[in-house]
Amino acid sequence: MAQVITNGLAAGQSIDAVINQTLDAGADPSALEKAAIALNLDLSLIFKALDDKCSADTKLAGTCTPCTLMKCAVEAGVDPVTAANAMMAARAQLEVVRQYLASLGYAGADSYS
């Protein structure tokens, strides 16, 4: 998956285009996200591209919720607050991000902003 992303970016495609094409080809959103994270791509751009694509595609809608994306990032080794900050930069609703942090037991979830 990382090679697909690398090849697309090297060919001059945006991360949005790479994610859209890869998901259209049947890739697993979670595997795609983890590969993009492993390549140290901008997490907020990854979140935004996945959210945009999945929101527009009924087959993918449930697989790319903000909480699902943040959970996947944390599983890939991203710090929960870093994932929350990236999700906010990708224009997620503050309450959703706070709920996710609370689900992790993050002590400052209620005051996160």
What is the largest distance, in Å, between two alpha-carbon atoms of the chain?
44
Residue range 23-68, pLDDT digits in tens? 999 999 999 999 999 999 999 999 999 999 999 999 998 888 999 9
Residue 74 in tokens: 């944390």
Q: How far is the C-alpha of 57 from the C-alpha of 110, rounded, in Å?
A: 32
Q: How far is the C-alpha of 89 from the C-alpha of 45, rounded, in Å?
A: 9
Question: At 31, which helix (H) or strand (E)?
Answer: helix 29-38
Every domain of the chain and the residues it spans: 2-111
Question: At 15, which helix (H) or strand (E)?
Answer: helix 15-24
Residue range 67-93, pLDDT digits in tens? 999 999 999 999 999 999 999 999 999
Residue 26 in tokens: 């049947």
pTM value? 0.93
